């Protein structure tokens, strides 16, 4: 960790990999840092519960015990490694335990990998969706999934309702002879499978699935949904 007084809390965490930190500056001249931001109770609790993709709840830091600090994933940036040698920078031992370091690494991976969902949502929503899609594809005798080119999930912290959107390509529908009735049949199978696997996971959430024509879908729908990397047996997206 480093202390830099231009930040409101005066703290940020070095989050580069150990090998990059130890490498000589002529080979690896920069390190990544993540500011530690003081946050309100609600934000800290969401982060501590693994419900935030932007903040990671940090334990108490010496001389800052009165602050509720969270690593702010919105402001990750690189600085010159030699800047850490400045006499104006105070190094502080990282307070994270080994299990918390593992959680922090996983959180950073999700943040940098653009995975928008915390572990709870992955377990209760994303994994059941993957199982439901697999089940629906096994019964897809009409080859409808070959027309699906994008899948997205809308999840809002604190809300039990999730939206799954599948975009279909009209050109692929014409190529495979998929009519509206066949699309509705597939959607019915998918919804039934979603109810089964979401319920099986004991989820606190419910998932509603819908399809849209990729050439007509409103931009607002796409902006509300995060892309899911599902095996749709279609073109790469």
Domain of 64: which CATH number? 2.30.30
Last residue in a domain, options 112, 146, 172: 112
Q: Which residue has the higher pLDDT, 125 or 4?
A: 125
What confidence score (pLDDT) does residue 1 get?
53
Last residue in a domain, options 112, 127, 158: 112
| 11 and 96, same domain (yes or no) | yes
Q: For residue 236, is it within any domain?
A: no
What confidence score (pLDDT) does residue 113 get?
63
Res. 5: pLDDT tops 60: no
Q: For residue 234, is it within any domain?
A: no
| 205 and 153, same domain (yes or no) | yes
In the chain, what percentage of residues exceed pLDDT 90? Answer: 40
Number of separate domains in the chain = 2
Residues 174, 175, 176, 177, CA torsion sign: positive
Res. 232: pLDDT tops 90: no
Last residue in a domain, options 78, 112, 146: 112
Residue 114 φ/ψ region, left for φ over 0, alpha for ψ in the -120 to 50 degree band, beta for the rest: left
pLDDT digit string, tens, across residues 129-162: 999 999 998 888 888 999 999 999 998 888 899 9
What confidence score (pLDDT) does residue 85 get?
81
CB 173 within 8 A of CB 147: yes
Alpha carbon distance 68, 204 (integer Å): 28
| 36 and 54, same domain (yes or no) | yes
Tokens matching residue 32 = 């990544």
Residue 213: band (very low, low, confident or very high) from pLDDT cuts 50, 70, 90: very high
CB 107 within 8 A of CB 34: no
What confidence score (pLDDT) does residue 228 get?
85
Residue 70: band (very low, low, confident or very high) from pLDDT cuts 50, 70, 90: very high
């Amino acid at each position: 960790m480093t202390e830099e007084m231009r930040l409101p809390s005066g703290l940020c965490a070095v989050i580069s990999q150990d090998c990059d930190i130890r490498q000589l500056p002529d080979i690896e001249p920069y390190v990544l840092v993540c500011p530690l931001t003081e946050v309100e109770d609600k934000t800290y609790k969401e982060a501590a519960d693994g419900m935030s993709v932007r903040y990671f709840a940090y334990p108490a830091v010496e001389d800052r015990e009165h602050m509720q600090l969270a690593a702010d994933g919105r402001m990750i940036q690189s600085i010159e490694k030699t800047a850490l040698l400045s006499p104006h920078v105070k190094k502080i031992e990282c307070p994270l335990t080994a299990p918390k370091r593992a959680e922090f690494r996983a959180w950073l991976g999700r943040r940098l990998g653009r995975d928008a969902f915390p572990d709870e949502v992955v377990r209760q929503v994303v994994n059941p969706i993957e199982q439901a899609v697999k089940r629906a594809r096994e019964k897809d005798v009409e080859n409808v999934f070959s027309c699906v080119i994008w899948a997205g999930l809308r999840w809002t912290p604190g809300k039990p309702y999730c939206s799954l959107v599948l975009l279909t390509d009209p050109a692929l529908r014409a190529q495979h002879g998929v009519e509206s009735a066949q699309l509705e049949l597939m959607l019915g199978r998918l919804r039934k499978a979603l109810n089964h696997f979401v319920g099986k996971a004991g989820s606190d959430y419910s998932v509603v699935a819908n399809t849209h024509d990729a050439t007509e879908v409103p931009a607002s729908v796409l902006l509300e949904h995060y892309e899911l990397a599902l095996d749709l047996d279609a073109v790469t997206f």
